[in-house]
Amino acid sequence: MGRQIEKESGKTGFWWKVYLVYAFMLLFAAAIVFRMSRVVFSEGEELLALSRQQSLRYEETDAVRGDIYSADSSLLAVSVPLFNIRMDLHPSVVVNDTFFKYLRPLCDSLHRLYPQRSSAQYRQMLIQARRAKKRSLLIKRHVTYAELSRMRRFPIFEKGQFRGGFIVEEYEDRRLPNGYLAERTIGYCNENGGGVGLERTYNKELAGVNGLRLTQKVSGDVWRPVRSEDEVDPENGHDLITTIDIRIQDVAEAALKDCMEENEAQHGCVVLMEVRTGKVVAIANLLKKADGSYQEHMNYAVGEAVEPGSTFKLASVIAILEESRMDTSVKVPTGRRKYYNRWMNDSHREGWGELSFLQAFEKSSNVGISYLANSVFGNKQQRFVDYLCKMHLDRPLGLEIAGEGIPYVKDTSDKTWSGISLPWMSIGYEVKVTPLQILSLYNAVANNGKMVKPMFVQEIRNGSEPVRRFKPTVLVDKICSDATLAKVQGMLEGVVEHGTARNLDNPLYRVAAKTGTAQINYGKRGSERMTYRASVVGYFPADNPRYSCIVMITNPQKNRFYGGSVAGPVFREIADKVFATLMKGGQEVQPMDPGSVDTHKAGGYARDIEEVYEALGIESPQLEPTTFVRLREEAQSAQSFNEVPVMKDVMPDLRGMGLRDASYLIEKYGMSMRVQGKGCVRRQEPRAGSPCRKGQTVWLYLG
């Protein structure tokens, strides 16, 4: 009985365990069903999207950056494709049989292409990476396309990415085919949008628009493109056509570098610009490095606002003439003069005695120019500042290149204005301008008073199709009156013929220019030695201006610091070679007749000409006896006479005449004259064609 009860009890316990396991399994199955239902109906879309996100992604495809060209279609900046080569050494990609069979030939091939490492060193590097199962071992950076083509045929690499582990990372590298020529003006642009020069300014146009492509993750961390209807092709960047002429740029760079090395100068710049359009044909900026060599470091022509010194006297002369209408023959003192508690000196402290206004400008007399400025504007000093503002010297030019220096023209309301501000500003101190800003003023004088903004880019192009063309921008329609303009043009020519820029004078073409020598550390006490900034700025050919040019050299060391002797040779070399290019190209530029100012020949009173012909037994030309004529040689065997136009209130052209004939015309106009030299009239002031009036003094320079 007891055994039967025990047996019954055992059966009950067994089934209880069975039911318990069954219930657990049932609950587990229910939980699985519940979870599956939740995944399908509640979280399915979210998890599916997450799965797709982890295996599919969109990647940007880079647009090809546009190129930068010179005006003569030479490449200034171009994007070159380069490659970084890596290797996937995981055994699942490069199997053991392949790796160890072709390892030595691969290392030998790498050594022949890149001998910086031996074949054994390559072998050791690859074996160590293989043991570490590296998926992306760097083999070589900055590989060219030619080198890449060779590497694709190397053992193991020839099997490609998925069986040979050959990984190619392509990127673009910006190259300057002409080295440092105009390097700072071309500039650069980095990934965060920073940079300098044209690359930064026109980054949007050059960069283009990147595309999009769908990629899928495969073994390891490798992504490969997948065809998709949503794929967007990149739009390549546009090209820039600059105003730079690479031939003239090369001349400018070389001339500047030679000058810098010869004078061991700290830094310098040169700019050559088309007079009528403002196109910058050449621009160079050099800085002395620690090892004594020179490189493009900063765009001084654009960004360095400094006290210009005597080249600023042109602005002062324009203001004086506009306000007073005075004759350039008026006398001024030179040498040394005191303004309040401060002495002003000329470069020759003893001076030149009393000079005319014209001669004071030609010799760059600080005392003479400041004396006139103080005489005219002493009781109305703000008027002087207003004239400078009218010439656009108080504000930036608005250049397309970022980083333009901010000019500083002191106003009478400025707290630093003092009794010496006016005289010192008149000679180029207590003001600051950039080289390009002072060049724009001289360019305006050459351009009949019209000031244009310097331009560096003339066209944006998409392939061969123009996208945008740039036109000259006029900043000031007229910086001064025609009468003043005629006078200052003649005065600038006088600086070359008789003044501080005589080394620019030549028999082939006329130059109008002004030199400048600014003392940099004049306000610093205890300086061991004086430091200077030498400059020359002007235009050529003076009688038909085509180009304006400025050269500025900072801190020359070889005991030479005057603008004419330091910067002058650079100006001369550039002008000579540019003029030769113009002549070779058949452009309308007439060379000067050697030994004469221009192509004008001797002339005089028509009745006298006839008497000479009769005395020589030559048939007399038919001339109006009461006119003045000039002999012009048009061919070797043919001669003709051109009548000298005589118009009321307009200065006649006296060049080539003898003193008797010239004096007769001057007296006929009711004017007086001053004469220097002997012979025929070589130069006159005021210039021919400028307004004249009775009682005016005419300076005649004979030679």
- Listed in sequence order, the residues at least 6 apart from 6 whose beta carbon sits closer than 8 Å to its beta carbon are none
Shared domain for 495 and 563, answered yes or no, is: yes
What is residue 610's predicted lDDT score, i.e. its pLDDT? 58
Domain annotation covers residue 347: yes
Burial class (CB in 10 A: 0-12, 13-18, 19+), 232: middle
Burial class (CB in 10 A: 0-12, 13-18, 19+), 165: buried
What is residue 625's predicted lDDT score, i.e. its pLDDT? 46
What is residue 491's predicted lDDT score, i.e. its pLDDT? 95
Q: Name the phi and psi angles at 345, rounded to 5.
A: -120, 150
Shared domain for 664 and 519, answered yes or no, is: no
Domain annotation covers residue 25: no
Rounded to whole angstroms, the Cα distance separating 619 from 416 reads 74
**Is 553 strand, coil or helix?**
strand
Rounded to whole angstroms, the Cα distance separating 2 from 6 reads 6
Domain boundary among 225, 241, 257: 241
What is residue 213's predicted lDDT score, i.e. its pLDDT? 67
Q: Name the phi and psi angles at 454, rounded to 5.
A: -60, 135
Shared domain for 411 and 492, answered yes or no, is: yes
Q: Name the phi and psi angles at 102, rounded to 5.
A: -110, 10
Domain boundary among 241, 264, 292: 241
Q: Name the phi and psi angles at 634, rounded to 5.
A: -105, -20
Shared domain for 575 and 479, answered yes or no, is: yes
CA distances from 601 to 59, 533, 604 (A): 76, 41, 10
CA 596, 601, 604: angle at the middle one, nearest 5?
125
CATH number at residue 327: 3.40.710.10
Strand blocks (E) in 122-165: 137-143
Domain annotation covers residue 17: no
Full residue range of the structural domain in which residue 158 is found: 61-241
Sign of the torsion formed by the C-alpha atoms of 561, 567, 573 and 576: negative
Q: Side by side, which strands form the sheet with 512-519?
A: 294-295, 280-288, 267-274, 547-554, 532-540, 512-519
Rounded to whole angstroms, the Cα distance separating 214 from 232 reads 10
Domain annotation covers residue 46: no
Rounded to whole angstroms, the Cα distance separating 692 from 669 reads 9
What is residue 341's predicted lDDT score, i.e. its pLDDT? 85
For residues 141 and 84, is the Cβ–Cβ distance under 8 A?
yes
Rounded to whole angstroms, the Cα distance separating 277 from 647 reads 32
Shared domain for 233 and 380, answered yes or no, is: no
CATH number at residue 646: 3.30.10.20
Q: Which amino acid is at 524?
A: K
- Listed in sequence order, the residues at least 6 apart from 253 whose beta carbon sits closer than 8 Å to its beta carbon are 180, 181, 182, 282, 284, 286
Shared domain for 532 and 651, answered yes or no, is: no
First vs last Cα of the chain: how many Å apart? 160
Using the 8-state DSSP alphabet, how is residue 559 labeled? S
Burial class (CB in 10 A: 0-12, 13-18, 19+), 632: middle
Strand blocks (E) in 145-300: 166-175, 188-189, 195-196, 211-217, 223-226, 239-242, 267-274, 280-288, 294-295
Shared domain for 568 and 623, answered yes or no, is: no
Domain annotation covers residue 227: yes
Shared domain for 236 and 254, answered yes or no, is: no
Rounded to whole angstroms, the Cα distance separating 492 from 516 reads 13
Rounded to whole angstroms, the Cα distance separating 493 from 540 reads 10
Strand blocks (E) in 416-509: 431-432, 451-452, 457-462, 465-469, 474-476
Rounded to whole angstroms, the Cα distance separating 258 from 502 reads 21
Shared domain for 563 and 628, answered yes or no, is: no
* Secondary structure element (H or E) that encloses residue 345, with its range: strand 342-345
Rounded to whole angstroms, the Cα distance separating 251 from 326 reads 41
Kindly tell me the number of DSSP H helices and DSSP E strands found in the chain: 22, 32
What is residue 75's predicted lDDT score, i.e. its pLDDT? 87
Shared domain for 286 and 430, answered yes or no, is: yes
Domain boundary among 187, 210, 241: 241
Rounded to whole angstroms, the Cα distance separating 677 from 699 reads 11
Domain annotation covers residue 50: no
Strand-pair partners of 61: 211
For residues 441 and 357, is the Cβ–Cβ distance under 8 A?
no
Question: Could you tell me the two tokens for 133?
Answer: 């199962």
Q: What is the pLDDT of residues 222-281, one digit of tens each?
A: 556 666 666 777 788 999 999 999 989 999 999 999 999 999 999 999 999 999 999 999
Neighbours of 70 (CB within 10 A): 22
Q: What is the pLDDT of residues 648-691, one digit of tens each?
A: 567 777 887 777 777 777 777 778 777 766 677 877 777 776 67
Select from 395, 481, 492 the least CA-distant residue to 437.
395
Domain annotation covers residue 349: yes
Domain annotation covers residue 3: no
Using the 8-state DSSP alphabet, how is residue 309 labeled? G
Shared domain for 137 and 225, answered yes or no, is: yes
CA 402, 408, 410: angle at the middle one, nearest 5?
165
Task: Look up the pTM and report it.
Answer: 0.73
Per the omega criterion (within 30 degrees of 0), is the bond before 645 cis? no
Shared domain for 314 and 380, answered yes or no, is: yes
Rounded to whole angstroms, the Cα distance separating 516 from 308 reads 7
What is residue 17's predicted lDDT score, i.e. its pLDDT? 72
- The count of domains in the chain is 3
What is residue 283's predicted lDDT score, i.e. its pLDDT? 96
Give 10-residue mean pLDDT values along the chain (703 residues).
Answer: 54 69 79 71 60 62 86 86 90 91 94 94 94 91 90 93 88 83 88 84 88 65 61 84 93 92 93 97 94 90 94 97 92 93 86 92 95 95 96 96 94 92 95 97 97 96 90 96 94 93 90 92 58 93 94 85 84 91 55 40 54 56 50 44 56 77 76 73 74 75 70
CATH number at residue 162: 3.90.1310.10
